[in-house]
Amino acid sequence: MTSTPDPALLDRALGAFYGLALGDALGMPTQVMSRADVVRVYGTLSGFEPARPDNPVSAGMPAGSITDDTEQAVIVARLLVEGGGHVDPLLFAEELLSWEKDMKAKGSFDLLGPSTKAALDAVTRGVDLTEAGKHGTTNGAAMRVTPVGIAFGADDTEWFLDRVVESCQVTHDTTIGIAGASAVAAAVSTGLAGGSLDDVFDAAVAMSAAGARRGHWTAGASISARIGWARDLVADQDTAAALDRIDSLIGTSVASQESIPAAFAVLALTNGDPWRSALLAANLGGDSDTIGAIAGAIAGAMGGLSALPVDAVHTLREVNDLELGPLTEQLLTYRTR
């Protein structure tokens, strides 16, 4: 018999999971758009919008729709629960392939990202699971790692990294892929533990640096260093100027070294406010749904579900038939053991 989680901890955990979905859905219509086009089309995005028919990824999706960021995070959460706190890499590969098959059957263009697709193609060709993800450097592991941060405390660095790597290995088993996912997972976990924004940044920087010692070495800028730099870059800037700096200097692509520091810059700009963080990410364009999902998850972990707009959460639930409560409670059973 499982015990009922502490109400404040459950609120923060639900804030993290629904915050991820919130940022994902707000960023859905602006993904793969340039910041200039976002400004031209929307002015300032102020809430959920449907995707434009000319968006090559999200065309046809109604306002409030989640994308692969939330759906793959749900897969990770479910596998963690079913695996007794572990993610089986072979089962994960099978689940991701099944998910993409279902998406194609629906006529969706929102499919697997480049690193995940390449890794799973390798798995289907018989490549060993420990080798399939050795080129994965994009942000797919980071976008879906929030359940790891919900389920586990980050006090024991190496033990925590073992849990992060399990969720990365099959698709993003590189120094960059693991560093990015480690930063996000540690930030979420620290937020759940009641940490401040300073604590969240410190945890992300430290865990990302440690995570960069795992996996196959890949050349690239330090995500740990870029997270700290991104925070300084937007300090004392007004919103429009800060977004322009994020766009032009940090970058908003699927590259982990861009989108993950961009999400932390947004958090710094809003002082960790979940709704504003998700909205500002949507206004960036680029990989805005993933930047929003990461920022929303971390901010939601700090502020809790009670800090998210009630009507926005209702929209997420209704549009996507999304109920994250039971799964979140199951994840917390590992944290409190």
* 253 is a domain residue: yes
* 24 is a domain residue: yes
* 2 is a domain residue: no
Q: C-alpha distances in angstroms, 161 versus 138, 183, 284?
A: 18, 10, 30
With bands split at pLDDT 50, 70 and 90, how would you rate the model's confidence at 3?
Answer: low
- Which residue range forms the structural domain that includes residue 135? 7-335
The pLDDT score that the predictor gives to residue 292 is 98
With bands split at pLDDT 50, 70 and 90, how would you rate the model's confidence at 289?
Answer: very high
* 1 is a domain residue: no
* 11 is a domain residue: yes
The pLDDT score that the predictor gives to residue 2 is 52
Provide, for the chain, the percentages of residues in helix, strand and coil under a 3-state DSSP scheme, each rounded to the nearest 5: 65, 0, 30
15-39: pLDDT as tens digits: 999 999 999 999 999 999 999 999 9
Q: pTM higher than 0.85 for the full model?
A: yes
With bands split at pLDDT 50, 70 and 90, how would you rate the model's confidence at 1?
Answer: very low
Count of structural domains within the chain = 1
255 SS3 class: strand
**Residue 245, pLDDT above cutoff 70:** yes
Binding site feature residues: 67-69, 287, 289-290
State both tokens at 213. 């010692």
User: What secondary structure, in 3-state letters, does 148-210 show?
Assistant: HHHHCCCCCHHHHHHHHHHHHHHHHCEHHHHHHHHHHHHHHHHHHCCCCHHHHHHHHHHHHHH
**Residue 112, pLDDT above cutoff 80:** no
CATH number at residue 119: 1.10.4080.10
* 242 is a domain residue: yes
* 191 is a domain residue: yes
46-92: pLDDT as tens digits: 999 999 999 989 998 999 999 999 999 999 999 999 999 999 988 98
Binding site feature residues for Mg(2+): 67-69, 287, 289-290
Give the burial string for 210-238 (b: 16+ CB within 10 Å, else e).
Answer: bbbebbbebebebbbebbbbbbebbeebe
* 198 is a domain residue: yes
State both tokens at 313. 């959460």
Nearest to 25 by CA among 269, 327, 256, 319: 319
**Mean pLDDT, residues 151-176 taken together:** 96
